[in-house]
Amino acid sequence: MFGRGNTQLIACIFFHSPASLFCFLFYSRDSSVEMAAASRQRKSKQSKGSLSSKNDSGVSSKKNQGTWNLSYLLVLGVLALIVSGLHRAHVSNLFESDRHFSHLSTLERELAFRTEMGLYFSYFKTMITADSVPDGLHQIMRDNITEYPSTINTLKRFNLYPEVILGFAYRFYVTVSDLMGHQTKSCWTVNRGENLSPVQSCEGLGEPAYFYVEAVFLLNGLMMGTFFLFGTYLSDSIFGGLITVACYFYNHGECTRVQWTPPLRESFGYPFFILQMFLVTIVIKNHKSSLKYAFLIAFAQLAFMLSWQFAQFALLTQTLAVFGTYVLQFISSLTFRTILLGQTIGLMSSFILLFGNEMLLTSFFACAIIAAWFVVLLDGYLAKLPHWTLRLVSQGVIFLVAALALKLIIGKLLQLEDDAHIGEIFKSKFTDFQNFHTMLYTCAKEFDFIEAETLKKLFQTLLIPSAAIALLMVTFRLLKAEVSSSSEEQSKGENGTSKYDSSKTNYQSKPNADLVYHSLQLLAFTAMALLIMRLKLFWTPHLCLYSALLASRQIFPLGSKSTHFAALIALLAVMGFYGVANIQHQRGIVGEFSNPAQEELVEWIKAKTPSDAVFAGAMPTMATVKLCTLRRIVNHPHYEDAGLRARTKLVYSMYSRKPVLEVKANLRSLGVEYAVLESSWCSRRSRPGCSMPEIWDLEDVQNRNASPACQLLSKKPEPHFKRVFRNNVYEVLKLT
């Protein structure tokens, strides 16, 4: 099925690196020229072999061939690798400065991975401490520690393929290094002062935590190189790639959290999403329609979905954006089918490799794909409608109705509520709806509406104004082209011709399809970020990417090239006024991780409790207990499962106003032996109505006037509990 050239293409794209994309650009160049020639033939009716007329983007084919030659790709490669190295070094230095990671003990490094980070890192630890790789996989796939007494497949539930792959890579690295006599780490004693005992600290890739975070930083360094290529390709200018990178660095704190939270799923997943969007852009811009491109999209999407459970929601916006591009007739049904096929293969492959994760089948993403296929299959019938606006409305209504109907039907058939909290969160944004679970989310500022301070920062660096200007110019260009196209279409209609070819059931595509797709994608990301601040991690980087269009001579053909570039240099200089200050602020953050209270808790648990003891408590603390002590826990921070949410609600009755006896019964029903109580959770709140007792008051109406159970337990835990440990932050209560 694949020729020699296609085989080479797949081989070089297999590894996600900036260099791999050169292969894709190089091997797609010839077919891109053929597409441009075909487009010229439709527009100008010149001979098939003509190379002198302009293609859809207004660039001659000879110029296109000269631009994307091997020497040009070599320059791009060098620049991409430089950018990759700079970003890897930047995030690594920020992480080190924030925690002084190189001088922490093994235990302190594990304590530094709080909440979800600790949970994910614990499975990497399982993989490298197991007797063998198969034994590590068995422990991960039959885990009775994380949600005791249940045995769960955590590889299915938590998207742990990054930990499995890194665990295997670490074991291989250590084994080979030992055989070669290579020293993988160096250790020394660190005197911590402040009445803390000295600890041994080790530095080097032989140290598990070092190996793990360095792999994350390397991946995100390569992501920046890919981002540079993406901006260059979208704008047809190296200057566009440089603008993308500069904007990203100037707004680094609003673009990513990898420098502070390397183990989070987004640190692994987002780089592959950038790659997948790049591939989709290439397919749309060059109007590709072959199985080869579908498989390439599927591969990048598979890596994205296996790394991050949130991938389905980001990909849903992509499906909507590509569908919008299709119904506006900027891409043909064949090109749309190629992308849909890639998304479908990626989704089904993820479903299989995640051992039948039902949440993928009930997702809006899966329903949107099926609905889109349904619209495409009706393409021949809808094309017979008398006017294109009627076709557009019909396609949109069919898609929306089909997607919603499928969501309801599949959800009822499988009776799954794992993603019900997502709908409830959005419902709480627009209504006065509130319950226990939505309040746990929306009381955290990451899930609140975007902060005014964030918007202020993005305006100060001129990121929002730059993207807005590019969007206005793109819109103007598209509208101008549509007016011209409508006049031509009207003329064709009078001559009895149609834009629809019934023999091929395929619309003729329009130029600038990639601009339409990215405009719709940007609007989708904007809506997501405004509603949930955490999702600015999709929006802000896309603003950087969209700003690359300022360097496009296709969109800004004003003045000479030198004048244009001079204006861009001036823009970057003005951006840098606040942008450089942001970088300096980040690099000025100097800290040293220390958590003596939690370290004391962990050491006590390891020394004073049985190895099969069962613990319950606040979700972030339970992740630490599981990672550092390997004790069994009944709840954890991965909140995307309906059963886990129900468990956590029972555990958090410690912070309600329920009678202490009822709290004990709730914990006993889960098999809990020790409860970790944090008195600060009784009183702290991010805003009025967000303390734990206040959140409980929404549903526990009958006990609203009672004292919180956590206060009563802290004063006198007897007779239902016995205090066995206490420091200035934590109490451990044993159920009597």
Tokens of 32: 């891109």
Least-confidence region, from 286-295, 374-383, 609-618, 712-721? 374-383
Q: Which carries the bigger pLDDT value, residue 145 or residue 440?
A: 145
Residue 23 has pLDDT above 70, yes or no: no
What does the mean pLDDT of the chain come to? 85
- How does pLDDT run across 488-522, given as a tens digit for each residue? 666 665 555 544 443 344 455 678 899 999 999 99
Q: How many Å separate Cα 82 from the centre of its chain? A: 24
Residue 350 has pLDDT above 70, yes or no: yes
Residue 6 has pLDDT above 60, yes or no: no
Residue 52 has pLDDT above 50, yes or no: no
Q: Coil, helix or strand for 225?
A: helix
Give all strands of the β-sheet with 632-633 in edge-to-edge order.
632-633, 614-616, 674-678, 730-735, 721-726
Q: Coil, helix or strand for 537?
A: helix
Residue 38 has pLDDT above 50, yes or no: no
Least-confidence region, from 494-498, 543-547, 571-575, 613-617? 494-498
Q: Is-contact 637 656, C-beta < 8 A?
A: no
- How does pLDDT run across 402-453, given as a tens digit for each residue? 999 998 888 788 777 666 667 777 778 778 788 888 888 888 888 888 999 9
Q: Which residue has the tokens 């690196």?
A: 17
Q: What is the pLDDT of residue 250?
A: 97
pLDDT band at 112 (very low <50, low <70, confident <90, very high): very high
Q: Which carries the bigger pLDDT value, residue 21 or residue 637?
A: 637
Q: What is the pLDDT of residue 63?
A: 41
Residue 321 has pLDDT above 90, yes or no: yes
pLDDT band at 18 (very low <50, low <70, confident <90, very high): low
Among 262, 264, 276, 283, which Cα is nearest to 318's? 276
Q: How many Å separate Cα 124 from the centre of its chain? A: 20
Q: Which carries the bigger pLDDT value, residue 296 or residue 686?
A: 296
DSSP secondary structure string for all residues of 131-171: SSHHHHHHHHHTBSSTTTT--B-HHHHTT-HHHHHHHHHHH
Q: 331: Cβ–Cβ under 8 A, 6 or more apart, which residues? A: 284, 287, 322, 325, 509, 513
Residue 3 has pLDDT above 70, yes or no: no
Least-confidence region, from 8-22, 42-56, 342-356, 473-487? 42-56
Q: What is the pLDDT of residue 352?
A: 95
Q: Which carries the bigger pLDDT value, residue 278 or residue 697?
A: 278
Instruction: Find the mean pLDDT for residues 566-595.
Output: 93
Residue 156 has pLDDT above 80, yes or no: yes
Q: Which carries the bigger pLDDT value, residue 128 or residue 37?
A: 128
Q: 22-26, 32-36, 189-193, 724-728: which has the highest mean pLDDT?
A: 724-728
Residue 371 has pLDDT above 80, yes or no: yes
pLDDT band at 35 (very low <50, low <70, confident <90, very high): very low
Distance CA 654, CA 657 (A): 8
Number of residues in the chain: 736
> Angle between the 536-547 and 452-460 helix axes, to the nearest 10 degrees?
20
Distance CA 89, CA 84 (A): 9
Least-confidence region, from 9-23, 142-156, 224-238, 485-499? 9-23
Q: Which residue has the tokens 């290439």?
A: 282
Q: What is the pLDDT of residue 58?
A: 35
Instruction: Find the mean pLDDT for residues 655-674.
Output: 94
Among 593, 477, 590, 454, which Cα is nearest to 526's? 454
Q: Is the dihedral of CA 16, 18, 20, 23 positive or negative?
A: positive
Q: What is the pLDDT of residue 45?
A: 38
Q: Which residue has the tokens 């159920």?
A: 735
Q: Which carries the bigger pLDDT value, residue 423 or residue 32?
A: 423
pLDDT band at 5 (very low <50, low <70, confident <90, very high): very low
Q: 67-76, 500-509, 715-724: which has the highest mean pLDDT?
A: 715-724
Q: What is the pLDDT of residue 37?
A: 43
Q: What is the pLDDT of residue 358?
A: 84
Distance CA 727, CA 219 (A): 40
Q: What is the pLDDT of residue 558?
A: 77
Q: Coil, helix or strand for 301?
A: helix
Q: What is the pLDDT of residue 684?
A: 80
Tokens of 596: 């003596």
Q: What is the pLDDT of residue 494?
A: 56
Distance CA 68, CA 128 (A): 45
Distance CA 102, CA 197 (A): 17
